[in-house]
Amino acid sequence: MKRTAIALADGRELIYFDERDDAVRDQPDRRELPPPPPASQLRLDPLTDEWVAVAVHRQTRTFLPPADQCPLCPSTHGRQSEIPAPGYDVAVFENRFPSLSGRVADEPAEITPYTPVRPGRGRCEVVCFTDDHNASFAALPPRRVRTVLDALADRTQVLGELPGVEQVFCFENRGVEIGVTLHHPHGQIYAYPFVTPRTRALLAAARRHAEGTGGRNLYADVLAAERAAGTRVVAENDHWTAYVPAAARWPFEVHVAPHRAVPDIPALDDAERDAFGPLYLDLLRRFDGLFDLPMPYIAAWHQAPVRVDRELGHLHLQLFSIRRAKDKLKYLAGSESGMGVFINDIAPERAAELLRAA
């Protein structure tokens, strides 16, 4: 894989990850762009001890443009996009409308004595999986999945070394039902200046388990139990297992986990990276085959924080959909949104059975 970094017209960074070592990436960005926006503002909710980003500039971000105006397609002689090259394998660039960035202007003023405020330092990146606007991740060949995984490993490592970054989150949103604003196959990476609430909860449970079992890894034990039971396993190979969690929150939710406990994507070895693609592509096609239509989903990589509690983590990908039937979606209503208590309409064992048969 060849890695080439360039600067876009407004100073943002773009990195090409090419599968050919002879790829030349010297096309300049000829657009006239305004400077990137300053960092957002982070406000701490004193009642939940959770940070909220206030990023007012995102209200004007690109929203479902037609295919001939897609900013993630390669540039042509008649139209310049976010990608100056006429074609690419995988490209990663700083988001033009970021929730977090390193471009801090002024320190925010105090709101109340109970609501600490700080700049939204960090970084948000866009990961383009292919230059084919009409493709999907499920349609990628295994070699391209390996390139994407290597790119995510690169970005996790680099972003984790930025001052103040505490956690790196790689994810893909697919489908307008999920809230996608660009149809081109792509994912995103957030480099947070704090450990997220979901990860803090996972770490707290893992810490209690380790203290009560002489240092055992909670996720590794859960994975071993699911593999032994087999009831909720959807697919597996020598290095990975895909299973529906016994307490799944979503109608169709699958964890894809390496058998070896590693904290993050950079820690995966070559054999594990090669084995991921075929299994994950099979799983995505099963999702699409459930109702014979493209499945909306979120694919979320759970990685250990970059500075603390790394020994408690166990890398895994959480794939889930809000679709519960061909013509029905799962809405986060009163119990889920108001109290954080999920109610699942489909038994995890039944979900696994349907996915195995898809």
Distance CA 277, CA 272 (A): 9
Residue with tokens 């449970």: 205
**Which residues are bridge partners to 42 per DSSP?**
53, 118
CA 145 to the chain's CA centroid:
14
Of the candidates 261, 220, 255, the residue with the CA atom closest to the CA atom of residue 235? 255
186 labelled catalytic = yes
Residue 168 and residue 292 in contact, taking contact as beta carbons nearer than 8 Å: no
* Percent composition of the chain: helix, strand, coil (DSSP 3-state, to 5): 30, 25, 45
> Tokens 């050919």 map to which residue?
20
Q: 197: part of which helix (H) or strand (E)? A: helix 197-212
Query: Is 184 among the annotated ligand-binding positions?
Result: yes
Residue 93 to residues 8, 10, 131, Cα–Cα distance (Å): 9, 12, 14
Strands of the sheet containing 167-174, edge to edge, are 2-7, 13-18, 90-94, 123-128, 186-192, 167-174, 297-302, 316-321, 252-258, 240-243, 233-236
Out of 186, 209, 314, 316, the active site residue is: 186
Q: Which amino acid is at 339?
A: M
Rounded Cα–Cα distance for residues 106 and 126 (Å) = 26
Backbone angles phi, psi at 149, to 5 degrees: -65, -40
Where would I find the beta strands (DSSP E) of 55-99?
A: 90-94
73 annotated ligand-binding residue: yes
User: What is the SS3 assignment for 167?
Assistant: strand
Cα distance between residue 271 and residue 293, in whole Å: 32
Round to whole Å and give the CA distance between 237 and 253.
19
Active-site residue list: 186
Annotated binding-site positions for Zn(2+): 70, 73, 133, 184
